Amino acid sequence: MVQSMRETERKYAVPSSSDTSWLSDASWLSRLERVEGVTAVVDRGPEELDAVYYDTADLRLSGSSATLRRRTGGSDAGWHLKLPLPGDSREEIQSALTDAVPDTMVDLTVSRTRGAMLTPVVRIRSTREVRHLLDAEGTLRAALNIDTVRAESLRAEGRRAVWNEVEVELAEGADPALLEAVDEKLRKKGIARAQSPSKLARALDETATAATAVGTDQSGDLDLNPGSAGEQVLAYVREQIRVLTALDPAVRRDRPDSVHRMRVACRRLRSCLRSYRSVLDRHATDPIRAELKWLAGELGAERDQEVLMERLTHRIDGLPEELVLGPVVARLQTWNVGRGTESHQRTLDALGSPRYLTLLDSLAELVEQPPLRAKARKKADKVMARAVLKEYDRLAERMPHALDLSPGPKRDVALHEARKAAKKVRYATEVARPALGKPAKRLGKRVKAVQKVLGDHQDSVVARGTIRDLAVAAQGVGEAGFTWGLLYGTEQAVAGTREHEVPAVWARTSAPTLRKQLT
């Protein structure tokens, strides 16, 4: 059983050579009572904290700004996994105190460790003096901790470090502006922000533990000039891999929208590797693309279920009460529970498979030893313009063909294929935006409009199939079919409207103007 919380804090360095007795001096701490929203600074006494940090042999967790520790002492003894969030925040996932790393924590770190064994790295013991910053009602707004830290490498015998630091952590629900106000008071006292993002990072540095890690420098000299096609493509690839990796723990815990975002990261990566084959050798990237397609497909079952349930619920909620005949809502919910549980398990099975670990290894190797082609060293603008236009030409072939077909299943399939082509154009423009600027952004925006119309059309096609299945099941047990027929007709009308809109939306992506702007 795990629980998670959002931790927002800042760390401050105290020069080790200075007299630190003033840190506990009540006179300067009382000045914090002048901070807006704080009326009292209360001494909560000392704590003794003892934490052992775990990582892989090549420090894959710390390399991705994540930490895993087993801590005793204080009010939250147990296993703590901290994952980065934007700004001063991190997500802290806690599990009960056990001797070995809990299986849950192993699973939640897999996307970063890629299955490598977690072993002790550093032991950090802290003597902590705790001060609570309270408001007028006595509610905790922040905690100010004054730590004397003693770090010991568990991989490099005899290497130790000692330092003092101040840590300010916001209470849940507190205004982030409080951090800025406290920050100002600390800076006036000569306490500056810490250079290291965490105790572990400083401990690894000052005990030289990072220097003993196996295989931590595998990137090599890529010999890519700033502004080259290779540099920009690899920057995009790295970012999508980072997103995919970061979303894995959220997907495993069934967090809202996490499956969708992870699936999009897969698609963006796969599309980038396809569109920029002139930069990265397809003989190396095509197998990765195939595995990304597999993963996106496994995630797709759960995501498609989410989208369909939202759509059908919205349609039913929009009907007048007198038109909802029979247990329509109950049947839909029963269908969703069964399908939802099955699709989420399918996602978990995929993320727990050896195939997934192999894919993660392949992605790591892709950025550490990228299969660069000659055009990777050329200026990005021309290389990327050609790639974007090539994807656009594929879309331009599919759209007229789809629009020329008569309404029906064949046209539905053709419009869906055009939609997928539109996505590829859009993703290609995302990669190219640093080099091509506004023209790429403008094209991406216009193609997204095409994709949106075609996407709603495809969602209507899928919804009609599900509605029909639900209607047949309802009829089989004698339930009224009127509402299901009404929903089917509504979706049919939506599809017709979207088909009517497509030509005008498509016409805004003018090919002659596009070529002139991009080249």
Q: What is the pLDDT of residues 296-343, one digit of tens each?
A: 999 988 888 889 999 999 999 999 999 999 999 999 999 998 888 888
Examine the pLDDT at 493 and tell me if it is beyond 90.
Answer: yes
What gap in Å lies between CA 111 and CA 246, rounded to an integer? 8
Burial class (CB in 10 A: 0-12, 13-18, 19+), 429: buried
What gap in Å lies between CA 289 and CA 277, rounded to an integer? 11
Examine the pLDDT at 416 and tell me if it is beyond 90.
Answer: yes
CB of 222 within 8 A of CB of 372? Answer: yes
Residue 200 to residues 101, 131, 205, 273, Cα–Cα distance (Å): 18, 23, 8, 36
Question: How would you classify residue 37: left for phi > 0, otherwise alpha for psi between -120 and 50, otherwise beta?
Answer: left
Looking at residue 220, what is its pLDDT?
A: 46
What gap in Å lies between CA 51 and CA 234, rounded to an integer? 37
Tell me, letter by letter, the H, E, C secondary structure of 351-368: HCCHHHHHHHHHHHHHHH
pLDDT tens digits, residue range 234-280?
999 999 999 999 999 999 999 989 999 999 999 999 999 999 999 99
Q: Please state, as a whole number, how many other Cβ atoms lie within 10 Å of the Cβ of residue 222.
A: 16
What gap in Å lies between CA 337 and CA 204, rounded to an integer? 47
pLDDT tens digits, residue range 25-76?
666 777 788 888 899 999 998 999 999 999 999 999 999 999 999 999 988 8
Phi, psi of 115, rounded to the nearest 5 degrees: 85, 0
Looking at residue 349, what is its pLDDT?
A: 96
Looking at residue 226, what is its pLDDT?
A: 87
Q: Which amino acid is at 338?
A: G
What gap in Å lies between CA 450 and CA 518, rounded to an integer? 19
Please list, in sequence order, all residues whose beta carbon lies within 8 angstroms of the beta carbon of residue 208, skipping any fewer than 6 positions away: 153, 156, 159
DSSP 8-state assignment for residue 372: B
Q: Is the pTM of this model over 0.75?
A: yes
pLDDT tier, 362 (very low <50, low <70, confident <90, very high otherwise):
very high
CB of 463 within 8 A of CB of 435? Answer: no
Examine the pLDDT at 474 and tell me if it is beyond 80.
Answer: yes
What gap in Å lies between CA 11 and CA 168, rounded to an integer? 7
Residue 181 to residues 12, 13, 166, 404, Cα–Cα distance (Å): 14, 18, 15, 64
